[in-house]
């Protein structure tokens, strides 16, 4: 069972946290509950397990060597960018008198560094070949940041990420899973 997120029926943020803790004590999402009852949290651990189950010929990331390390660096930078955009988004939800401008500035700096790191890889998606995890994660990250921290990605600062995101969002796999 995959638990990526639960929608609150109460309208209160995080109101589903207690129910979610039945599956993962720290309440972190996403979570994957395996048939054995073991629960994996954190996207990297979940994807690693799914790639293992899929096997080397169907895995979305190389299983060893330089290409695997490159992929892991891309994924780490892309998820770091998401984490920083999320931190900014959460900070803005606090009461106005408790919002820390210094914290937001620090997170924005880290967000820019993470976006620049992913951009430096110049990810391309040519033709109709099968998507890889680096492309999926980078495109999802860019789309998310474009929704929650729009000013971070305006002005053509990240042309490779913009191109990749546009290309991925036209694919049936992405259209089947709107944000």
Second-level CATH architecture of 65-175: Up-down Bundle (1.20)
Distance (Å, whole) CA 164 – CA 135: 7
Q: What value, to the nearest 5°, has the Cα angle with vertex 93 and ends 109 and 146?
A: 50
pLDDT of residue 126: 65
Which residues of the chain are under the pLDDT cut of 70?
1-16, 126-128
Per-residue model confidence (pLDDT) at position 88:
96
pLDDT of residue 6: 47
Query: Domains of the chain: which residue ranges?
Result: 2-41, 65-175
pLDDT at residue 156, rounded to an integer: 83
Written as six digits, the tokens of 50 are: 């799914």
Q: Where are the alpha helices (DSSP H) in the chain?
A: 17-20, 43-54, 65-92, 101-120, 133-148, 159-169, 172-175
Summarize pLDDT for 84-107 with one digit per residue, the tens.
999 999 999 999 999 999 999 999
Distance from C-alpha of 131 to C-alpha of 141, rounded to nearest angstrom: 15
Among left, alpha and beta (phi > 0; psi -120 to 50; other), residue 122 is left
């Amino acid at each position: 069972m995959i638990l990526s997120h639960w929608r609150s029926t109460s309208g209160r943020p995080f109101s589903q946290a207690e129910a979610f803790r039945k599956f993962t004590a720290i309440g972190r999402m996403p979570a994957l509950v395996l048939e054995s009852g073991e629960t994996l949290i954190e996207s990297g651990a979940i994807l690693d397990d799914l790639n293992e189950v899929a096997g080397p010929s169907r895995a979305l990331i190389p299983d060893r060597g330089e290409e695997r390390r490159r992929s892991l660096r891309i994924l780490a930078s892309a998820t770091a960018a998401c984490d920083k955009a999320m931190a900014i988004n959460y900070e803005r939800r606090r009461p106005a008198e408790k919002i820390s401008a210094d914290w937001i500035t620090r997170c924005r700096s880290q967000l820019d560094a993470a976006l620049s790191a992913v951009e430096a890889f110049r990810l391309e998606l040519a033709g109709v070949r099968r998507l890889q995890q680096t492309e999926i994660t980078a495109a999802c990250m860019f789309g998310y940041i474009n929704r929650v921290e729009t000013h971070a990605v305006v002005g053509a600062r990240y042309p490779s990420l913009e191109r990749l995101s546009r290309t991925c969002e036209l694919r049936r796999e992405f259209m089947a899973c709107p944000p």
